[in-house]
Amino acid sequence: MSRLVIAALLALGLGEVVNPNKAPPDPRDYGADKIDVSAYPDDQQQRYPLFMQKCSKCHPAARAINSRFSTGEWKRYMKRMIRRPNSGINEEQAVEIYAFLKFYAEKQGGQ
C-alpha cells in the first residue's frame, strides 16, 4: 500500500480502532511526539511528565507539542481541557501544565 493511501486511511480513522474518549486525528498529531527537556530548568523538567501523561490521555502528545500557541492561547486552551469530562486534569495539575506550556511557548517565540 502506498504511503499516500495509508496516510489517507489514518486520516479517516480507518487504520485504527475508534476510541470515543480520544479526539479525532489532527495534522499536528503526526509531528514530533517528545521534547528534549534535558536543558530546561529543573522545575520545567519536573512538570514535563505530568504534561505528557495528561495531554496524551485524550489526544497524542504530539498535538500539544506541535501547536504553536501563544501563552494566552495556552491559557484559554487549558481552561477548555480541564472542563472536558475525561481529561482527569484538576486545577492544581492545570496550573503545572500551563506553567510548562507557557515556558515552552516562550521558548518557541510565542509570547
**What is the CATH number that goes with domain 28-107?**
1.10.760
Distance CA 61, CA 16 (A): 17
pLDDT reading at 67 higher than 70? yes
Is the full-model pTM beyond 0.85?
no
Residue 36 pLDDT? 97
**Best CA proximity match to 55, nearest among 66, 42, 44, 45:** 66
Distance CA 94, CA 76 (A): 11
Cα 43 → chain centroid: 19
pLDDT reading at 99 higher than 90? yes
* C-alpha cell recorded at residue 96: 503545572
pLDDT band of 90, cuts 50, 70, 90:
very high
Average pLDDT over residues 63-84: 93
Between vectors from CA 70 to CA 58 and to CA 86, what angle results, nearest 5°? 15
Q: What is the pLDDT of residues 10-29, one digit of tens each?
A: 555 554 455 666 778 888 98
Distance CA 49, CA 46 (A): 7
* C-alpha cell recorded at residue 14: 480507518
Mean pLDDT of the chain: 85
Average pLDDT over residues 36-55: 97
